[in-house]
Amino acid sequence: MMPKEGLMPVAAVAELIRAGHYLSLAGDEAALRQLPLGNWIGGTIPYFMAATGGTVSRDQVFVQAVTGFASPPRLRLYDPGTLPQLCRNAPDHGFSLLIVPAFSACHGDFARNAPNYEDMYLKPLAGWVAGTHLDDAGHATPRVVLGPSGEFSAEHAVVMDVELPPERFAQIDIINPFKPGDGDAISFAETGFSVDTCFVNGEPMPLADYLSNLGVDTRLPLVADYCGASVNVSIKQIDMGARRVELYAPVFPGLNYRLATPSGEVAPPSVGGDASAGVPPTFACNCILNFLYEGLEGQRAGALTGPATFGEIGYQLLNQTQVVLTVR
């Protein structure tokens, strides 16, 4: 029997699509453009945590199959104007998979405003941010794909809404390898991906100066407590010339951030499906920063597999985190 999960050649993925399966796909744009129309959504990325370990591939596609639904899933594109309706339009009992192209208006709006979307946190929402090979930065564009029409878009988000039967439910697990350290409390006056002034223990100062003076390892994110969950904001660049810090996710006012310390958290055995029943997770992803900073290419990193992405979605935008959606 042909597998329906994991990293596989384009021809094998095309066969699954032609057989009518509902699929969430991740692959380099050139690979995705070879696939037929069908019941799939996709996003561009060539980095994967495969069963054999971290893999960079431009000619294979990572497949995550959606099964066990109560009615055929709905696949659609959202633009920045309609994206806030995402959760309201989701099934009352089920889940949604969302892929957003990095650096797009949808990416920015979702990052800043998703916590305020109607019905957010009431309906399971998981997904990821599409990207490109890092060698192509500056001349390749992250895109998502709506499989039924074959439309590739750099400006829309793509969603698969999945209604589940009453006896099944979706569970989202967020596995964060970091926790807030015991250092200074850092806060911000406004939401943003780009920061000049922050408040350190209530005192205003340029964030660039603060991080530079401390000599921080920028591979460690800022971490805040979002209603009991530790959420990372990864540092993209400290621009001392402009005295600005560029981030991979926005900071929010009203929260205290601290420089991270490793938590040692790994996925517990209960996360990622029921191994005894041979049930894999429906969806999982890891962060490209974990892939790079931990040197995961060629290395196993636990049982969870999926794309290594430019951002993870577990309800809201996350960084340096693993997200897992399991249907139980």
Last residue of a domain, one of 214, 230, 261: 261
- Domain of residue 249 covers 179-261
Q: What is the mean pLDDT of residues 236-248?
A: 96
Q: Is the same domain home to 165 and 195? A: no
Check pLDDT > 60 for residue 318. yes
Q: Are residues 64 and 194 in the same domain?
A: no
Q: State the Cα–Cα distance between residues 234 and 18, nearest whole angstrom.
A: 40
- Of 235, 261, 287, which residue sits at a domain end? 261
Predicted confidence at residue 173, as pLDDT, reads 94
Measured between alpha carbons, how far is 195 from 259 in angstroms, rounded to an integer?
Answer: 15
* Residue 1 placed within a domain: no
Residues 128 and 103 placed together within one structural domain of the fold: yes
* pLDDT on residue 262: 81
* Whether residue 214 is found in the same domain as residue 245: yes
34-72 tens-digit pLDDT: 999 999 999 999 999 999 999 999 999 999 999 999 999
Same domain (yes/no): 113, 57: yes
pLDDT band with cut points at 50, 70 and 90 for residue 290 = very high
Q: What is the pTM of this model?
A: 0.94
- Whether residue 296 contacts residue 49, with contact meaning beta carbons closer than 8 Å, is answered with yes
Last residue within a domain, chosen from 210, 245, 261: 261
Residue 145 and residue 11 share a domain: yes
**For residue 133, what are the CA distances in angstroms to 50, 63, 156, 166?**
17, 18, 20, 41
- Angle at the Cα of 321 from the Cα atoms of 318 and 325, rounded to 5 degrees: 85
Dist. CA 92–CA 105, nearest whole Å? 27
Classify residue 111: in a domain, yes or no: yes
> Do residue 313 and residue 193 come from a single domain?
no
- Count of structural domains within the chain: 2
283 and 203 in a common domain: no
pLDDT digits (tens, 9 = 90+) for 85-118: 999 999 999 999 999 999 999 999 999 999 999 9
pLDDT tens profile 165-197: 999 999 999 999 999 999 999 999 999 999 999
Are 214 and 228 in the same domain? yes
State yes or no: pLDDT of 265 exceeds 80: no
pLDDT at 278 over 60: no
Residue 16 sits in the same domain as residue 130:
yes
